[in-house]
Amino acid sequence: MDRKGRLSLDMLIGLSIFLVTFIFIAQFLPTVFADVRSEIGLAHEAYKVTVMLAETEGAWSNGTHNGTNWEDYESQWGDTDFVFLPGLTEGEPDYLEFDKLKALQNATENYYNKVREMLGLLTPDRNYNFHVSLESLDSKPYNRTLVTDRDGNVVLDAGADIPSSGYISRYERNVWVNSVYDLVGAYYIGTAGPRNVPNLCRVNVDDIDCNFTYPLRFFAIEVFGKENDPTNVWWLGVCLQKTGTPSSCNAKPDTIQVGYGSPLTSSNVKWEDTLAVKTYELTTILNNIMRDEGFSDGDTVYIKIGIHNTNATLYYSGTIDYLAGKAVAKLVVYVW
Amino acid sequence: MYGDRMKAQAFTLEGVMASLLLLVVLYSFFQSTIVISPMWSEITDAQLKLIGYDTLKVLDYYRTSSDEIYPNQSLQGMIVHLNSTFKPNQDFIYALERMIYLADYRLELCWANLSTNAVECRALVDKKPTPEAVAASRIVVIDSGEFPASSPFYGRGYPIVFEVRLILWRP
């Protein structure tokens, strides 16, 4: 009897279909749950970094001593026996210290790999890059607005360049910074000496004209006293307009007045107070007036500051928001 | 010779059926509620929850002396200035919307009423959340002497514990 062993073509086809399906499922299942380089892993790393930066005050140790003021040991950051966690808070979550922000900028610029290692992004089995910045509340990923300090320098924008493609995880935390006056520009607008004003302002003989954008982020005036003759009257006026520069802004004697339109009269004054040696935080007052007058976000507002016989300083910022008595911004972390 | 002919159609069919069976099992497995893959929406909600938590923390104003007035934009300032309509002041709404930027929200206030031994709640901003909404809350305590006569909390005679609940979702 002839026995010819033949391999059936049908069996081969059926077996191939089954094996292809089995291999596909075997490949697919693990990727659903865990992958160190996947988007899920990145999100966890970015979240962890924001917690370490925005919710802890950090720590340092050199093997014999330790503490939380890691920002004071800049000369030792690069030492192999010096380890530090670059937390940014003042001991309370979301309450950041200005000096620590600056220190993180310096540490990341000079010791990027060490900072990565301290944040757990660089270990024997993982290698992530990061970027951290302090941005305005309405900053967008495609149009970032970085917070600047009183000298106009960017406070925090450190790390590797953010790639334009690939898996990137981004987390942001709303924070407030101590102190507000490190983050706002101080401009002398009094009558006692030479004035300096923000870029968007110009000094006239008797007053100052500014073109800002609604809503204002931070606008305050600190009054130090009368210029020369204490028996002479003094006043300070702030006038707002939607179109055209206000013509004049003379306030009533011994008062500070804020109004819409010019000149200031009893019908267009929206807020006033007795002029005294104190700081007038006017951000909310001015924004409320503009809101009531129908301003939309991004509208230009023309402001004239009239001042007479008064020593005063204008505090202004176009990047930090002053909300509920705090200088508020957002800490943005990218990890890839 | 006819007995030696092998009509093996069944092998192909068996292979196809086995493949289909594997795929159907896999599909049913992940469509059931027993298994929740980490790739699904929960991971993206963490950012929104953090924003809610941070916003309430920033708006919580800590006074250094009893002479200080709560800013209108703070949680305490918002609660103190509520009247019988339970509508938050515009300054607070501005600050809140500035911080949660682009997210939609519902705001609720709950408080302990010691007279009735009950917790009462009111919706201050009454919008309907989506199923993917997340919530954050914060507890604040305000002394009874802080409330003006127009406040629904005036004259209670005891510090009132409030829970401010912020529900956020992406529109």
The gap from C-alpha B153 to its chain's centroid, in whole angstroms, comes to: 26
Q: Does B18 touch chain A (CB under 8 A)?
A: yes
Instruction: Compute the C-alpha angle A183/A188/A190, nearest 5°.
Output: 145
In B, minimum Cα distance to A5 occurs at B4
Give pLDDT, residue A36.
Answer: 46
Whether omega before B129 lies within 30 degrees of 0, making that bond cis, reads no
For residues B34-62, give the mean pLDDT.
Answer: 77
Q: Per mean pLDDT, which range of A176-180, B17-21, B30-34, B154-158 is the poorest?
A: B30-34
Could you tell me the residue ranges of all domains in chain A? 38-181+327-335, 185-319
Percent of chain A with pLDDT over 70: 95
pLDDT digits (tens, 9 = 90+) for A127-144: 999 999 999 998 988 889
CB contact under 8 A, B73 and A284: yes
Q: How confident is the model at residue B1 (pLDDT cuts 50, 70, 90)?
A: very low
C-alpha B137/C-alpha B125 separation (Å) is 15
Residues 6+ apart with CB under 8 A from A294: A242
Strand, helix or coil for residue A290? helix
pLDDT of B49 over the 80 cut: yes
Q: What is the C-alpha radius of gyration for chain B, rounded to an integer number of angstroms?
A: 28
Q: Does B141 touch chain A (CB under 8 A)?
A: no
In B, minimum Cα distance to A8 occurs at B8
DSSP H stretches of helix in chain A: 9-33, 39-55, 98-110, 112-118, 283-292
Length of chain B: 171
For residues A44-64, give the mean pLDDT.
Answer: 92
ipTM of the complex: 0.77
Q: How confident is the model at residue A262 (pLDDT cuts 50, 70, 90)?
A: confident
Give pLDDT, residue B5.
Answer: 54
Which chain A residues touch B9 with a CB distance below 8 Å? 10
Sole residue written with tokens 């990027």: A112
pLDDT of B2 over the 60 cut: no
pLDDT of B3 over the 90 cut: no
Residues 6+ apart with CB under 8 A from A312: A188, A189, A190, A221, A222, A223, A224, A236
The gap from C-alpha B104 to its chain's centroid, in whole angstroms, comes to: 11
Residues 6+ apart with CB under 8 A from B74: A324, A325, B59, B60, B61, B92
pLDDT of A273 over the 90 cut: yes
Q: Per mean pLDDT, which range of A169-173, B24-28, B134-138 is the poorest?
A: B24-28
Q: How confident is the model at residue A24 (pLDDT cuts 50, 70, 90)?
A: confident
pLDDT of B8 over the 80 cut: no
pLDDT of B50 over the 80 cut: yes
pLDDT of A17 over the 90 cut: no
pLDDT digits (tens, 9 = 90+) for B98-138: 999 889 999 999 999 888 889 999 999 999 999 889 999 99
Which of the residues B4, B6, B7, B19 would you substitute to probe the A interface, choosing the one with the greatest number of A C-beta atoms within 10 Å?
B19
For residues B26-54, give the mean pLDDT.
Answer: 70
The one-character DSSP state at B81 is: T
Angle of the B42-59 helix axis to the A39-55 helix axis, nearest 10:
10
pLDDT of B33 over the 70 cut: no
Global pTM value: 0.79
Contact status, residue A162 vs residue A168, Cβ threshold 8 Å = yes
Give pLDDT, residue B11.
Answer: 63
Give pLDDT, residue B9.
Answer: 53
Q: Does B79 touch chain A (CB under 8 A)?
A: no
Q: What are phi and psi of A176, to 5 degrees?
A: -130, 155
C-alpha A274/C-alpha B44 separation (Å) is 51
Length of chain A: 336
Nearest C-alpha neighbor of B145 from the set B91, B92, B70, B72: B70
**DSSP per residue over B78-129, as a string?**
HHHT--TT-PPPHHHHHHHHHHHTT-EEEEEEEEEETTTTEEEEEEEE--PP
For residues A269-292, give the mean pLDDT.
Answer: 92
Q: Does B102 touch chain A (CB under 8 A)?
A: no
For residues B12-39, give the mean pLDDT.
Answer: 71
Give pLDDT, residue A18.
Answer: 85
Contact status, residue A116 vs residue A122, Cβ threshold 8 Å = yes
Name the strand (E) or helix (H) holding B171: none
Which chain A residues touch B72 with a CB distance below 8 Å? 284
Which chain B residues touch A34 with a CB distance below 8 Å? 38
pLDDT digits (tens, 9 = 90+) for B71-88: 999 999 999 999 999 999
Residues 6+ apart with CB under 8 A from A107: A74, A77, A86, A114, A115
Q: What are phi and psi of A330, to 5 degrees?
A: -130, 140
pLDDT digits (tens, 9 = 90+) for A303-326: 999 999 999 999 999 899 989 989
**DSSP per residue over B152-170, as a string?**
TTTT--S-EEEEEEEEEE-
Residue A234 vs residue A34, higher pLDDT: A234
